[in-house]
């Protein structure tokens, strides 16, 4: 987790700046943009390393929340039913020095395959505006656009997207 706590702010401060203000980014760090411990506990989180350094991460969830962050949870929530629910793709971050080199793609592919292996036929996620093009390239469709309220009074525009996993070819 310490490596992720270094990676996430680096990733967000550089790669999200084209879509969000510095104030929005700082407000979201530690809550919306944070280590998602539940994915780690559930063993559904992937990291990409280069020479011992974490350069990317992301995963999927078999729980109802569309995003997590590092908020303490007494109850992790019920498990989703793969026969009727969509797996949740969550917490994708790439080191700025490694952006646009296929890290996000490879982590998304691994997450989708693990979801399929767990019996899920569909996936759902909440994308940042900067992440939306990656997910769209994978066949995710926009369901809704909305804004997350933050404790500072600011909001963070995001996009809820879905995709049928079993029927789409890989990009």
Say if 139 falls within a structural domain.
yes
Say if 170 falls within a structural domain.
no
Query: What total of structural domains would you count in the chain?
Result: 1
Say if 134 falls within a structural domain.
yes
Cβ count within 10 A of residue 5: 12
Say if 75 falls within a structural domain.
no
Q: What is the mean pLDDT of residues 10-21?
A: 96
The predicted-structure confidence for 38-73, as pLDDT tens digits, reads as follows: 899 999 999 999 999 999 999 999 987 766 665 545
Higher pLDDT, 171 or 32: 32
DSSP, res 67: -
Full-model pTM: 0.89
CATH code, 31: 3.40.630.30
Domain that holds residue 38: 2-68+80-164
Q: Is 134:125 a contact under the CB 8 Å cutoff?
A: no
Q: Is 123:117 a contact under the CB 8 Å cutoff?
A: no
- Vertex 80: Cα angle to 78 and 85 (nearest 5): 145
Say if 74 falls within a structural domain.
no
Say if 135 falls within a structural domain.
yes
Say if 143 falls within a structural domain.
yes
3-state secondary structure of 157: strand
Say if 25 falls within a structural domain.
yes
The predicted-structure confidence for 85-144, as pLDDT tens digits, reads as follows: 999 999 999 999 999 999 999 999 999 999 999 999 999 999 999 999 999 999 999 999
């Amino acid at each position: 987790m310490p490596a992720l706590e270094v990676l996430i702010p680096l990733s967000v401060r550089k790669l999200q700046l084209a879509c969000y203000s510095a104030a929005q980014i700082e407000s979201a760090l530690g809550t919306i943009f944070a280590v998602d411990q539940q994915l780690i506990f559930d063993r559904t989180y992937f990291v990409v390393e280069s020479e011992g350094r974490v350069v990317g991460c992301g995963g999927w969830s078999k729980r109802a929340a569309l995003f997590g962050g590092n908020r303490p949870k007494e109850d992790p929530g019920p498990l989703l039913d793969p026969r009727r629910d969509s797996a949740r793709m969550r917490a994708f971050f790439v080191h700025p020095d490694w952006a646009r080199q296929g890290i996000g793609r490879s982590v998304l592919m691994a997450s989708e395959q693990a979801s399929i292996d767990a019996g899920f036929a569909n996936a759902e996620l909440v994308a940042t505006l900067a992440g939306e093009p990656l997910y769209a390239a994978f066949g995710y469709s926009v369901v809704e656009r909305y804004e997350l309220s933050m404790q500072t009074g600011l909001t963070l525009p995001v996009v809820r997207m879905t995709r049928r996993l079993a029927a789409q070819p890989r990009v």
